[in-house]
Structure 1
């Protein structure tokens, strides 16, 4: 009985510390934002020259790409003006149209917390104002890039905190900027805060409920990249984001999956991810995530340590990484290794 009690306590401890960047704090349960975006009903009721518009929920990104390829510029831009929130989030739609649509969608919210996303030069690939807000931003020329990487962040990330200028290498946008600077101009990097992340420390961070919803969206993102002719991506998955990547692994065509500061990927070994991607793992010496028991009990905890020999991932040097969020700091061994993976130099 005492052994069982200790097991329960261990799982509870895992639940208490498996979070992204918040540290020790209370947490609020989050509802995953899913379902049709506002404006979807009007989109479905509309048409172009008698042709129905592609259903955002049911049309594959390649079919969306074919639909837009059959439109002239005037009709395509008319859809952007009439349905910015839908076009901006429609995987497979032309990239310039999505950037413009999301600029209009951000401005239409009239909310100060999102205003910076509409600044000139920003390339917002996706924007969902519901809840805490979700956003994906492109750094570089995604349409011409030889290599593409996607940053999948962990807890406490949303559209409002997507770009943390005061701590420039810890938020999704800062991580993406640092990676692109290290990898070079031939690489485009997407900062993908495209799912509802846990807040603080609590059951959300120890369960896979939010990660499962995020995995569906991440897989759809990679389908959309295929549809517009972008190279197969490398996924850089931080903290709880590595749980998302673990669940999405079998449904993406990623060339590489990198887990950093990971509490586990919901698999016992690399083979359990059922992916053809190469899997890498990094953990810094002062990362508090190392104190998280690598257990999975009654749905709590995320399983094996990806940096363990038994898991089977390729190790990334991270001896000079500071804390839980320092993996993309310029000059670190980890960032140098990330750039080599992003550009295919390690193949």
Structure 2
């Protein structure tokens, strides 16, 4: 009975402690964005177009490859929300479509994403908003990395100007700058993340929905000819990556500041990707109990010896979001993993 009580307390502590990057914030439950892409009804009213819900990214890529350029551009103009979010569509068309959608939204919170220098690979205004941004030339890159963020990230907080390396865009921008011109890095704020301290962050529900979206997104990268990517999964994002690992065509999966991946060891993830883990000495995630109990918690610590992941040096990473700061051991290791130099 005493052992049961200790386990219960640990599970409750997990719910109270796990959070993302914004600290002690709202604990409101979030509704995961699922279902057909916005604009699907009008899209399907046109005979012969692939169904965004059922068509695999490879089939979408083949459809657009056979489409005359003028017809493809007409679809961009008439159905930007579908074209901009449909995995398998050529990246240049998605950039153009998403610029149209962002400007058409009239929402001042998103207008900075429509700048001519931004490469927005997905923009979904539903819920808190989701955005996927590319740094570098994805169409011609020799190496690709995808940053999967944790809690408190959405289309509005995707690019934090005051905390340059803490948000997904800042992390991706830092990795791209350190990796060079042959690399493209994607900031994938492509799922509904938990907000603040609450049960959402301790539960797997949002990660399950995110894993489905991440798996399809990666299949879309493969469909347009991108190299197998390295995934960099931060905090709750590592829960997403753990669930997606079995079906994600990734070359490497790197988790940092992870509360767990819903696996007791790396081999149980069912992936052929190399699995890496990083945790800095001052990361508060170390205070989160690594348990799964009554639907709370995310399991074993990926940096533990028993888990079996390759360890990423992170002795000089400060706090929970300091892993991509220029000059750190962790960022140098991330570059080596991204470019294939790490062994």
TM-score class normalised by the smaller sequence: over 0.9
Determine the structure 2 residue equivalent to 1:251: 247
The 8 Å contact of residues 17 and 24 in structure 1, kept in 2 or not, is answered as no
Shift in Å, 1:250: 0.4
Shift in Å, 1:42: 0.4
Secondary structure in 2 matching 1:112? coil
Partners of 1:37 and 1:71 in 2: how far apart? 21
Match of 1:203 among 190, 199, 202: 199
1:20 matched to 2:20: yes
Shift in Å, 1:6: 2.1
Runs in 1 of length 4+ with deviation above 6 angstroms? none
Deviation per CA, 1:112-161: give whole Å up to 9, x if none.
11111101111100110001000000000000000000000000000011
The 8 Å contact of residues 25 and 195 in structure 2, kept in 1 or not, is answered as no
The 8 Å contact of residues 165 and 325 in structure 2, kept in 1 or not, is answered as yes
Determine the structure 1 residue equivalent to 2:316: 320
Partners of 1:237 and 1:137 in 2: how far apart? 16
The alignment's C-alpha RMSD in Å is 0.8
Match of 1:159 among 146, 155, 160: 155
Partners of 1:265 and 1:155 in 2: how far apart? 15
Partners of 1:291 and 1:335 in 2: how far apart? 23
The 8 Å contact of residues 37 and 52 in structure 2, kept in 1 or not, is answered as no
Deviation per CA, 1:212-259: give whole Å up to 9, x if none.
000001000110011000000000000000000000000111000000
Gaps of 5+ in 2: none
Determine the structure 2 residue equivalent to 1:2: 2
The 8 Å contact of residues 17 and 23 in structure 1, kept in 2 or not, is answered as no
Shift in Å, 1:16: 1.3
Secondary structure in 2 matching 1:250? coil
The 8 Å contact of residues 159 and 170 in structure 2, kept in 1 or not, is answered as yes
Determine the structure 1 residue equivalent to 2:178: 182
Match of 2:210 among 185, 210, 214: 214
State the TM-score, normalized to the length of structure 2: 0.99
Shift in Å, 1:38: 2.2
Shift in Å, 1:2: 3.5
Deviation per CA, 1:262-294: give whole Å up to 9, x if none.
000000000110000000000000000000010
Alignment of 1:156-305 (within 5 A): 156-305=152-301
Shift in Å, 1:4: 1.8
Match of 2:331 among 330, 335, 338: 335
Partners of 1:137 and 1:24 in 2: how far apart? 27
Shift in Å, 1:108: 1.1
Alignment of 1:91-102 (within 5 A): 91-102=87-98
Shift in Å, 1:7: 1.3
Partners of 1:8 and 1:109 in 2: how far apart? 46
State the TM-score, normalized to the length of structure 1: 0.98
Shift in Å, 1:25: 3.2
Shift in Å, 1:23: 2.3
Partners of 1:199 and 1:229 in 2: how far apart? 35
Secondary structure in 1 matching 2:109? helix
Say how many residue pairs are matched: 343
Determine the structure 2 residue equivalent to 1:29: 29
Gaps of 5+ in 1: none
Deviation per CA, 1:151-175: give whole Å up to 9, x if none.
0000000001100111111100000
1:70 matched to 2:35: no
Alignment of 1:76-87 (within 5 A): 76-87=72-83
Shift in Å, 1:22: 2.2
Partners of 1:16 and 1:181 in 2: how far apart? 36
Answer with 1-10 or 262-271: which moved more: 1-10
